[in-house]
Structure 1
């Protein structure tokens, strides 16, 4: 019986999807270390840090991750950043006040975007926009 293939080199995936976007980003999965109280204690500083990353063009997207039933939040979050390397993304995560304080732990995974779309609706008369 042949062993199932469990992994392939990233270069092979890039070659197979060479006509696609291949935008390299980094996903930071963040989870509470000791309950929600420390998370809320550092939430304001964390959000200010996120807004600064956004202003600096580093933050791609971020937000809380609900429980599977979509009814509550246990403190988990996902932050996607633009960085040159995984090590640079780790430094970005380490500088987050939430992580510096030890309220959350994090894990950084490289993420290559190939497919998807973003639609922005801009109403000129009202000067409002919406991400659809």
Structure 2
């Protein structure tokens, strides 16, 4: 989808809410781990506004989600409504590296991140449809 934009400069790429049914399951609805291969073309685009909100992202591989060739181009980056946390050392390190290189960044929207973990039936929470914490 983005191969024709490789190396180009764009004002905006809006990939918000592209939850593909192939990533969906009853147990983990719209679970997506971003891989290096998924970012192959996107990371080469010089883009001012990138919206990756509401895509069910729960994790990302090392050197994938935040590894842009031209991070200095990004002014607005939206991750709103996904389900991943910057909780591991590697993820925090990649975020810090990204922030240091993205000198034009004005907006980093990491709001409404309902991190949920699947739990077996337990006393914490249970309903007929799902058991989440």
- The answer to whether the superposition gives a TM-score over 0.5 is no
- Bigger RCO (CA 8 Å, 6+ sep): 1
More helix by share: 1
More strand by share: 1
Larger Rg: 1
TM-score, normalised relative to structure 1? 0.22
TM-score, normalised relative to structure 2? 0.22
